[in-house]
Amino acid sequence: MLCACDDISCPLESTVECNIAFYAEAVPDELGRMVPGASISIGDTLTISVVRPGMADSVLVNRLTGQHSAALPVSYFAPEDVIVLAFTDTLSRVGRDTLWYQKDNINHWDDPGCPMHPWHHITGLRFTRHLVDTVFISNSTINYAGSENIQICFRTGSE
């Protein structure tokens, strides 16, 4: 008799990705707390790369336009992931911002007969502010549910 994983006890679609969404610059809500502005689509070309110590940068998303979000793979065991957002406008000018997010890595089993999937819990973040206004953690749990995890608010006014 042969046994195998099935999608009843072992999810076959189990990609763990950090889902980022793009917003206009943050605005105060009725209580004065800063919240993301309206959802926006990327107008300029966006390339997203991951930086890993001792390795060449890897492009995760190449030449994204017209989208309001992106799903990025997560390192399995590193305590911090570093992503670079590089925008190229129609005049070939490039602007870059870097986002560092710290995370706890959690071993997750759906069923004792299934392989382990690393899930993650975002514990903090920092970022540069060249084109980025602010960044919010909307859902700190990164798993294969597909929920939005990080909200990136871009400067939309002239400065």
Q: Is the predicted pLDDT of residue 81 greater than 70, yes or no?
A: yes
CA atoms within 13 A on the CB side of 86: 16
Predicted TM-score (pTM) of this structure: 0.86
Q: Is the predicted pLDDT of residue 7 greater than 60, yes or no?
A: no
Which pLDDT value is given to residue 110? 73
Q: Is the predicted pLDDT of residue 113 greater than 80, yes or no?
A: no
Which pLDDT value is given to residue 52? 82
119 close to 147: Cβ distance less than 8 angstroms: no
Q: What are the tens digits of pLDDT across the range 129-138?
A: 999 999 999 9
Domain ranges (residues) in the chain: 23-154
Q: Is the predicted pLDDT of residue 3 greater than 60, yes or no?
A: no
Calpha distance 159→149 (Å, rounded): 28
Average pLDDT value over all residues in the chain: 88
Which pLDDT value is given to residue 9? 62
Q: What are the tens digits of pLDDT across the range 83-105?
A: 999 999 888 889 999 999 999 99
- Written as six digits, the tokens of 73 are 């793979």
